Chain A
């Protein structure tokens, strides 16, 4: 019983980790390659969710919604890069933070005007509802299993693109030395737009999958963005591998903390004290971990540069 419970909670942790990874991958690329702090990454996540839910409700097809979410955020991401962010690469981080914070406000209000403030909910197609039976009587929701599969598949795909293709080589080169890449005659502006667009599409993918689990509402991106930044700090800026490892660590630590910290504390201190300390400590756990990583490896576990 305890083992199956731990395993099931582990799956929950991996599922959260995978979701964080999709967001962190795009953000870490943008941060690593363009040296751009993009607070509005969460808005792209929100846009992906809204595109998917609107199109799937309008057309009645879930897959069409998924496609719309991916393509929609890709286009919105590229448009944002061209219109607003392109001029900011040479500016310092404070300017970037200000502009991208402005974008958050803009997108949240826009979505509130278009769709209203109350949360939207999508219903899953019948083939994604229900549970799969695992060993030991574990019943795991099909949809969450699919999320894990899609996330891990995306990780493999990203790994292939970054390490085995020409585009990936340019991305890695851009992460380690921008000036040199430009000096070698690579159109760095175009590369930036493409990278930003794909980063946005990854955020959109996370958003459209999250829409079925979380609430689709204005400001939904900001709720998860803080954890994504924690992932990047732990994983190391600019590193896809770091984003994956960091995301899985954060997802598992957060879930395990929520599930087992309180019962664990109850064996050590009084139940009443555990009741107060448990939840407080569980919500701090991820940040304590980040502090620990920062103390031991200030550049993160898998720093891309230096």
Chain B
């Protein structure tokens, strides 16, 4: 009784194997899983990213690499465990061909092993966790953003070059806060008069600002992403310190926080690899069409996500739509053969871009829907590599 069943199963298996290559060659559509944060106060970043992905799809005629494309969006709720769940769901239930997105380093660290473990490629479009650039780099992991340390490194270099003798440093008390400060110190060799770590999510900085004013430093460096930065800068301006002590920051003033900061942002210095006013044709097209479609200025979060879709597009084209050819996809991505919003760049051995970094300043700009915009002041780094790529064993 068992035998016929066996042979039936064997026959079915043989048929499956026989038809499998055929099914592969006939890939007619592409599914991309895009994870970001869509709920909660941080949902604003997710909105920038999702709108940018949609614009990228528009620009590609809804066909990434020539294949009709569906993007499945997932909300990680700013939690690593939820990020992993969403990724598993996308891989198993939705059967996505490739994954992208992710804002937070801790979510990325948790999610990358799940995606690469399933043999799929992950194109990170924001999080810049150092382990993934170093010892834990992965063939199937690419980044269209940066390593966390690089922006503060650029700011440190600028402060060093312009001869700022002493600096007062403030950051939230968590890993990224400390990473930013160590990135800053890698290039800034002046005196740090105070290095203060405040509670994560703190909203009132009056006590810190009072202490800061008592020290009267030559300059202040902060890393306060999201709501924390909005609060700090508003209170800094309210305390009348804007014109007295120059304020430098990373990941604090950008197009997600400018609508809330408004004029309080004016005069703020930031360091970044991209700005909405960068003179790169691909970026100019992206920014103009984005403003036209959504009515606000895109941020670097969005630009990186737009770039991620374009990178995937270049790879799918290179393998002629045969997305199952992971090796071919990886080889194609390594060439970064597409019109990036930052201009032409090369990937380092760890799949992180080697790119320029700029000093940005928030100025009044009547052309921007927000009335205030980030403008590039000068180039700080040319073809800047991250500090961790030597720890990455990958060679190609």
**Beta-carbon contacts of B196-229 to A below 8 Å, as 1s and 0s?**
1111010110111011001000000000000100
> Which of B36-44, B66-74, B272-280, B282-290 is near enough to bind chain A?
B36-44
The closest CB in chain A to the CB of B42 belongs to A117
A141 in contact with B203 (CB, 8 Å): no
Q: Which of B227, B239, B240 contacts A119 (CB 8 A)?
A: B227
Query: Which chain B residues numbered 17 to 52 have a C-beta less than 8 Å away from chain A?
Result: 39-41, 43-44
Does A218 sit within 8 A of B, measured CB to CB?
yes
Does A258 sit within 8 A of B, measured CB to CB?
yes
CA distance A9 to B204 in the complex (A): 13
CA distance A5 to B215 in the complex (A): 10
| Closest beta carbon of chain B to A90's beta carbon, Å | 35
> Which of B131-139, B230-238, B372-380 is near enough to bind chain A?
B230-238
Does A93 sit within 8 A of B, measured CB to CB?
no
B173 in contact with A258 (CB, 8 Å): no
B262 in contact with A117 (CB, 8 Å): no
Query: Which chain B residues numbered 252 to 270 have a C-beta less than 8 Å away from chain A?
Result: 256, 259-262
Answer whether A214 and B231 are a contact pair too, CB < 8 Å, given A117-B40, A223-B201: yes
| Cβ contacts under 8 Å, A282 to chain B | 199
Answer whether A121 and B262 are a contact pair too, CB < 8 Å, given A1-B214, A16-B204, A279-B173: yes
CA distance A131 to B213 in the complex (A): 14
Does A15 sit within 8 A of B, measured CB to CB?
yes
| Cβ contacts under 8 Å, B41 to chain A | 117-119, 217-219
| Cβ contacts under 8 Å, A129 to chain B | 238
| Closest beta carbon of chain A to B167's beta carbon, Å | 15
Does B81 sit within 8 A of A, measured CB to CB?
no
A217 in contact with B214 (CB, 8 Å): no
Does B161 sit within 8 A of A, measured CB to CB?
no
**Beta-carbon contacts of A154-177 to B below 8 Å, as 1s and 0s?**
000000000000000000000000
The closest CB in chain B to the CB of A121 belongs to B260
**Beta-carbon contacts of A98-128 to B below 8 Å, as 1s and 0s?**
0000000000000000000111110000000
Does B344 sit within 8 A of A, measured CB to CB?
no
A131 in contact with B201 (CB, 8 Å): no
A255 in contact with B173 (CB, 8 Å): no
The closest CB in chain A to the CB of B196 belongs to A262
CA distance A28 to B227 in the complex (A): 29
A258 in contact with B208 (CB, 8 Å): yes
Does A280 sit within 8 A of B, measured CB to CB?
yes
| Closest beta carbon of chain A to B295's beta carbon, Å | 13
| Closest beta carbon of chain B to A1's beta carbon, Å | 7
CA distance A280 to B178 in the complex (A): 14
The closest CB in chain B to the CB of A119 belongs to B260
The closest CB in chain B to the CB of A214 belongs to B203
| Cβ contacts under 8 Å, A264 to chain B | none
Other A-B pairs, 7, CB within 8 Å; known A119-B260, A219-B40: A8-B210, A12-B210, A16-B204, A117-B43, A139-B240, A143-B238, A282-B199
Q: List 17 A-B contacts (CB under 8 A).
A: A5-B214, A13-B207, A119-B260, A120-B260, A131-B240, A141-B206, A213-B206, A213-B235, A214-B203, A214-B231, A215-B203, A218-B41, A219-B41, A258-B198, A258-B207, A259-B207, A259-B210
Residues on A close to B: CB < 8 A? 1, 5, 8-9, 12-13, 15-16, 117-121, 129, 131, 139, 141, 143-144, 213-215, 217-219, 223, 255, 258-259, 262, 275, 278-280, 282-283
3 nearest CB pairs, A to B: A214-B203, A279-B197, A279-B173
